[in-house]
């Protein structure tokens, strides 16, 4: 095992390797972890808010449609009276009588088409609301996935924990400045060592 043969070169090599580990890994700040958790809560709030707003939109739309249908049916009722009066008036020409029959048919088609259009609009609105709710749920899933990564122990976090257990930061900084030249010689020694192995 190479490491056991380090012997005299132990200190600088240790420092060299550990510095490498330190550089590779950085722990996620706890504040970021906390924000990630909060984000999940914020998404829940957004999902609820959109749901309530969507319900309000559907209620408003249905009211508009109800009013429209009342108006349409009023027109239908009045038209029937007018058509009747005209047909029974006895003063129609043949052309006029034909025209009335055509109008009755047209009106009936128009009323049906109008009611269909209103139902169609309501369905478009409802479908889009379903899509929107699903999208928000997916966004929350995305956040949960990212949160799993943020919360998990990242490479090097163990190293940082060790280092943070130092009695004080000053000592740590002193150690670093002390070690830096050793690291450089350590690298040279490491190179020599590797050459010697070969």
Partner 1 sequence: MNKSELLNKIDQLSDAAENFEGYEKFAAKDDISNLKIKVNSMITSDIANKMSSISLPETEDMDDQIKLANDAIKSNENRVSAFNSAYGFLKNALGIVL
Q: Residues interacting with partner 1, by CB under 8 A? A: 1, 3-4, 6, 10, 14, 17-18, 21, 24-25, 57, 61, 64-65, 67-69, 71-72, 75-76, 78-79, 82, 86, 91-92, 96, 99, 103, 106-107, 110-111, 113-115, 117-118, 120-122, 124-125, 128-129, 131-132, 134-135, 138-139, 141-142, 145-146, 148-149, 152-156, 158-159, 162-163, 165-166
Q: What number of other Cβ atoms are within 10 A of residue 94's Cβ?
A: 7
Nearer to partner 1, 39 or 61 (CB): 61
Least gap, CB of 75 to partner 1 (angstroms): 5
By beta-carbon proximity to partner 1, the closer residue of 25 and 185 is 25
User: Closer CB to partner 1, residue 47 or residue 129?
Assistant: 129
Alpha-carbon distances, residue 36 vs 45, 81, 125 (angstroms)? 15, 68, 33
Minimum CB–partner distance for residue 72 and partner 1 (Å): 5
Between residues 38 and 63, which has the closer beta carbon with respect to partner 1? Answer: 63
Contacts of 24-28 with C-beta under 8 Å, sequence gap 24+, read: 24/155, 24/156, 25/154, 25/155, 25/156, 25/157, 25/159, 25/160, 26/154, 26/156, 26/160, 27/154, 27/156, 27/157, 27/160, 27/161, 28/150, 28/154
């Amino acid at each position: 095992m190479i490491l056991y043969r380090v012997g005299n070169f132990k200190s600088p090599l240790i420092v060299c390797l550990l510095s490498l580990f330190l550089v590779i890994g950085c722990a996620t700040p706890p504040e970021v972890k906390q924000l990630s958790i909060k984000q999940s809560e914020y998404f829940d709030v957004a999902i609820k808010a959109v749901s309530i707003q969507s319900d309000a939109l559907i209620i408003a739309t249905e009211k508009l449609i109800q009013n429209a249908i009342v108006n349409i049916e009023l027109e239908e009722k009045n038209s029937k009276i007018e058509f009747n009066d005209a047909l029974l008036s006895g003063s129609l020409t043949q052309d006029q009588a034909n025209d009335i029959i055509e109008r009755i048919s047209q009106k009936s088609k128009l009323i049906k088409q109008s009611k269909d259009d209103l139902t169609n609009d309501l369905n478009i609105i409802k479908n889009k609301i379903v899509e929107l709710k699903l999208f928000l749920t997916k966004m929350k899933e995305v956040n949960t996935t990212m949160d799993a990564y943020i919360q998990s122990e990242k490479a090097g976090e163990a190293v940082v924990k060790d280092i943070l257990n130092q009695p004080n930061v000053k000592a740590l900084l002193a150690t670093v400045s002390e070690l830096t030249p050793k690291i450089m010689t350590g690298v040279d020694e490491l190179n020599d060592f590797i050459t010697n192995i070969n």
